[in-house]
A and B are shown apart, each in its own frame.
Chain A
Amino acid sequence: MPPAVVLVTGVSRWLGGALAAELARDRFIERVIGVDTVPPSPEVLRRLGRTEFVRADIRNPLIGKVIATASVDTVVHMNISSTPAGSGGRGPMKELNVIGTMQLLAACQRAPSVRRFVLKSTSAVYGASSRDPAVFTEAMQARRVPSGGFAKDSLDIEGYVRSFARRRPDVGVAALRFTNFIGPRIDSLLTHFLRMPLVPTALGYDARVQLLHEDDALAVLAQATTGDFSGTVNVGGEGTLLLSQVIRRLGRLQVPLPSPTLGSVGRLTRRFGFVDYSPEQMRFLNFGRVVDTTVLRDEFGYTPLYTTAEALADYASTVPPVVPPDLVGSVTSRAQAVVDRVGATVASVGQRLRPVPAAPDLRAVRDA
């Protein structure tokens, strides 16, 4: 049975807005209600279609009234901030993430109409450390529990959602653990990070990166909202790349810095509002993280259209390279031509200089 009234939190961001717009196009869904603390940009607003926008803070009990009066049956929780800058510092970020989720869940528990809850979570809950297995399945837990920031918030949020699922067994709960998003339009940590012409990385480390294209992210969220999957699922593209490889494919320049200095570089770039990365994201840059997507394909029933490499290629088309691959190609082919010419010259000179070899196995024997 398709949902009748859907509530989407965090609708002012690209992914939330895109999901609301996608759901609004579905004729079977009666109402789509978008909630966010800030009004959507005119561009997002135009796409939202018949979505009703409610400017509300999910930290506020007001959200309960919205759910009750509209008799919402499906809640998609996407209002989770991954960077302190987006929400005005670490304090407000944590408040929005954790307290906001608690408020939302409290409201959902009271509302008998709610029968489905979709959480946009992250694979950051697996942490990132040298003791990690190469590939995480849904059943595994972080080897070194993330101690702060977005990953810690996400762990807490997943915990609260699990206890909500226990208290309301009639509600189908789906937790989607997304890998890093990438794509031409989405605004994610990595898209910002990789737009810099010089990309700082941790000296002596190379992370394994698994990416998810924005279109796939959207399709998975839409399917989770209208479908009936409940449980936890990893969502990521097929295949992995190394961070150094990603930087090279984008034609950026890699600047390896010793790990301790990376923190201050991060603070510096944050101050200029350039890129914002925190200690746990630094650890991600050291070790990376890969998740197993068998459950996504077999049980959830979705196969991403883009592999990690294809998603990166699609993003690369929107980022002008600093070192164009064509240039590298033409330089190497020119060097190649020079080598060929030198080789030919050397060979011809060598031929002229070399004495004519004696015919083998024949020895001049003087007649008696």
Chain B
Amino acid sequence: MPEARVIPLRPEDDEPRVPRPPSPSWEEQVTGGLEFLRRRLTGDYETDEFGFDPDLTDHVLLPLLRPLFSRWFRVETHGVENVPGSGGGLVVANHSGTLPVDALMTTVALHDDHPEQRRLRLLGADLVFEMPFVGTVSRKMGTTLACNEDAERLLTGGELVGVFPEGFKGIGKPFRERYTLQRFGRGGFVTAALRTGAPIIPCAIVGAEETYPMLGNAKTIARLLGLPYFPITPTFPVLGPLGLVPLPSKWLIAFGEPIETASFGPAAAEDPMLVFNLTDQVRETIQQSIYQLLLQRKSVFG
């Protein structure tokens, strides 16, 4: 007689179900809200030298982004184990989608899906900080100006820094060029990583390209407004403010294996050839990863 074997009735129940922490009752929520209000009214919270306001980020900004992250774009995060749990690290990602929604979604992904709830400190273009409201809110969310001084300061402070080396070339590219990486700036991000010995974590984002497909670019209007581009999408500016609603594309964010830089030593930042090679290596890795993710994704809105 063959040995008796336990056959699970419902195989999907095999994994022990972790009971979800009970969602707070409405009284607790109101209490938390009141306490938050008291802190805000009396200024009793901490901010750092970059203008980052963790209290506001955790209680207002991230909760606002979460529905967009989980319901609208149904973001799937892969490879968070490649992001170090502590210490500095430079997350380098592709940039797309007319508006920098991909930066916000990556921030949510690293905070909600990483076991250490890591905060991504983004580096933004100076245009961001020139704009009223946008600049202030960005700073409060932890963004700072994309310059080597700030990047190195954050990395030495053990922060996880997010950078999009394509800049406006990536985010403002026409829809027909979707998922092709643009030039990676001047490799400033590599020098920052080399000087501080922080690992570079390549990150590929798929889905952002379809949020606001940019069919045309009204260059004259852009020049008049002092913007790098003025997008024409299927819904904007035809539908006015409604055109600001992003299309509900399916998103995948994948963090690749970290590229270690500490062994080169800080002096390697002065070696342009090494900087170029590393830049290309990061770029190639991200491009490959994007192609893989595109194959994985069933359909654009799937």
Contacts and interface: CB of A to CB of B under 8 A. Distances in A.
A binds B: yes
Contacts of B136: 204-206
Interface in A328-345: 328-329, 332, 335-336, 339-340, 343
Interface stretch (B46-54, B216-224, B241-249): B46-54
B49 A240 contact: yes
A134 B147 CA distance: 9
Interface of A: 130-135, 137, 140, 202-206, 208, 210, 239-242, 244-249, 251, 259, 287-288, 290, 323, 325, 328-329, 332, 335-336, 339-340, 343
A242 B49 contact: no
10 contacts: A131-B126, A133-B147, A134-B51, A204-B133, A206-B51, A242-B53, A245-B43, A249-B44, A325-B44, A343-B25
B130 A130 contact: yes
A240 B38 contact: no
B64 interface: no
Interface in B63-107: none
B132 A135 contact: no
Contacts of A241: 43, 47
A328 B50 contact: no
B139 interface: yes
B47 A340 contact: no
Given A205-B136, A249-B42, A135 B49 contact: yes
Chain B interface size, under 10 / 10 to 19 / 20 to 34 / 35 or more: 35 or more
B167 to A, nearest CB: 15
Contacts of A206: 51, 136, 139-140
Question: SS class of chain A's interface: helix, strand, loop or mixed?
Answer: mixed
A237 B45 CA distance: 18
Nearest to A259: B132
A101 to B, nearest CB: 30
A133 B126 CA distance: 10
Interface string B130-152: 11110110011000110101100
Given A206-B51, A242-B51, A336-B31, A133 B133 contact: no
Nearest to B29: A339
B287 to A, nearest CB: 31
Interface in B100-137: 126, 129-133, 135-136
B153 A134 contact: yes
A247 B43 contact: yes
